[in-house]
């Protein structure tokens, strides 16, 4: 029997190889994970997961606590290196990048330049103002200071937060702070955005607004979004949904409900139509 070592030195059974679970047929994946395995002492967090996400697509990952969904997101985003399997990123106009084999510095550069991140609590810098939080992300992504601050102000204007530009994060409501977090994630127009429970701390109305902005600026602009969520209302707005359980994809619950052909898609299952200023949101970055 094949075994997989772990930190305690005692081998545990290797996980079965799960069948691939690609994105929509005929669409070149922007990001493709194949047979991802992540093991911790005595347990498999991921047991051979394969999944693809394409341009113009919003993918929702659901599952109970401890199922492996956040671990999957972190492996896809290059925050954690899987023990086995590959993550391949196909940037626009460039050769494929094997995310899972990059060193720490290369992965950090990829995250700065090509990936965007939104987290449940925002993880904004409390000592900075709203506009500074957004602009710093732009500067880290290679923008000149003046350009970054101008783009940050454009984002705040698009989100109706221009009057709050000089406020520190602690002076904003939860919904306002999360809008700033979304703007920060999008200022460099990343090809793919990873969101971990981005609406988990918000009420239903604010959650809907934040997701509308996030969908419009990612999948609705021909880029991609991968979101981990417990909220079925959030997941229902994605083009494609998977459920993770015990480190594997539950194929019986996987769903795809909207056309994803690499074009900017609004409306339908993605639910980004009717968002005021959606075009301005995308263009502001």
Residue extents of the structural domains in the chain: 57-83+104-284
Mind giving me the DSSP string for 144-201? Answer: -HHHHHHHHHHHHHHTT-GGGTTSBGGGS-HHHHHHHHHHHHHTT--SEEEEESTTTT
**Percent of the chain residues past pLDDT 70, beyond the cut:** 78
How confident is residue 11, by pLDDT bands cut at 50, 70 and 90?
very low
Mind giving me the DSSP string for 68-98? Answer: SHHHHHHHHTTSS--SEEEEEE--TTS--EE
How confident is residue 252, by pLDDT bands cut at 50, 70 and 90?
low
* Sign of the dihedral through C-alpha 44, 225, 199, 62: negative
DSSP helix/strand/coil, 142: coil
Pairing verdict, β 115-119 and 192-196: parallel
pLDDT digits (tens, 9 = 90+) for 66-124: 899 999 999 999 999 999 999 999 998 788 999 989 999 999 999 988 999 998 776 89
Pairing verdict, β 3-4 and 12-13: antiparallel
pLDDT digits (tens, 9 = 90+) for 132-171: 999 999 999 899 999 999 999 999 998 999 999 999 999 9
Instruction: Report pLDDT for 19.
Output: 37
CA distance linking residue 48 with residue 221, whole number of Å: 31
- Check pLDDT > 90 for residue 1: no
CA distance linking residue 40 with residue 62, whole number of Å: 21
Contact 18, 244 (CB under 8 A): no
Q: Which two tokens stand for residue 195?
A: 């969101």
How many residues in the chain?
285
Query: Which of residues 197 and 264 earns the better pLDDT score?
Result: 197
How confident is residue 42, by pLDDT bands cut at 50, 70 and 90?
confident
C-beta contacts of 141-147 below 8 A and 24+ residues apart: 141/112, 141/113, 141/187, 141/188, 142/112, 142/113, 142/188, 143/187, 143/188
For range 47-60, the mean pLDDT: 95
Contact 210, 241 (CB under 8 A): no
Residues 6+ apart with CB under 8 A from 199: 178, 206, 207, 210, 211, 229, 231, 234
- Check pLDDT > 50 for residue 259: no
Instruction: Report pLDDT for 166.
Output: 97
For range 184-194, the mean pLDDT: 95
Instruction: Report pLDDT for 93.
Output: 76
CA angle 154, 155, 157 (to 5 degrees): 65
CA distance linking residue 122 with residue 185, whole number of Å: 10
Q: Please give the mean pLDDT across all residues of the chain.
A: 81
Q: Was domain 57-83+104-284 assigned CATH 3.50.50.60? A: no
Query: Which of residues 18 and 208 earns the better pLDDT score?
Result: 208
**Residue 240's beta-bridge partner residues?**
59, 256
Q: Which two tokens stand for residue 107?
A: 């992965």
pLDDT digits (tens, 9 = 90+) for 63-82: 998 899 999 999 999 999 99
Contact 217, 281 (CB under 8 A): yes
């Amino acid at each position: 029997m094949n075994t997989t070592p772990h930190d305690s030195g005692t081998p545990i059974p290797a996980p079965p190889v799960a069948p691939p679970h690609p994105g929509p047929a005929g669409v070149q994946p922007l990001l493709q994970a194949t047979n991802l395995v992540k093991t911790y002492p005595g347990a498999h967090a991921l047991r051979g997961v394969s999944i693809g996400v394409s341009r113009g697509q919003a993918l929702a990952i659901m599952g109970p606590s401890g199922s492996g969904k956040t671990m999957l997101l972190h492996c896809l985003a290059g925050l954690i290196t899987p023990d086995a399997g590959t993550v391949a990123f196909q940037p626009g106009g460039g050769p494929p990048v094997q995310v899972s084999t990059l060193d720490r510095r290369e992965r950090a550069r990829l995250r700065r330049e090509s990936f965007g991140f939104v987290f449940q609590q925002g993880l904004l810098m409390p000592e900075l103002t709203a506009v500074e939080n957004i602009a710093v992300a732009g500067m880290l992504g290679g923008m000149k200071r003046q350009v970054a601050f101008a783009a940050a102000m454009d984002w705040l204007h698009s989100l109706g937060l221009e009057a709050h530009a000089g406020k520190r994060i602690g002076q904003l409501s939860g919904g306002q702070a999360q809008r700033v977090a979304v703007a920060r994630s999008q200022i460099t127009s990343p090809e793919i955005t990873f969101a971990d429970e981005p609406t988990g701390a918000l009420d239903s109305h604010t959650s809907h607004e934040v997701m509308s902005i996030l969908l419009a600026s990612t999948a609705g602009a021909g880029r991609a979004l991968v979101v981990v969520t417990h909220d079925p209302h959030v997941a229902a707005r994605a083009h494609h949904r998977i459920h993770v359980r015990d480190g594997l994809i539950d194929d019986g619950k996987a769903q795809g409900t909207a056309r994803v052909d690499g074009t900017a898609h609004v409306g339908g299952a993605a639910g980004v139509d009717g968002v005021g200023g959606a075009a301005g949101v995308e263009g502001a970055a």
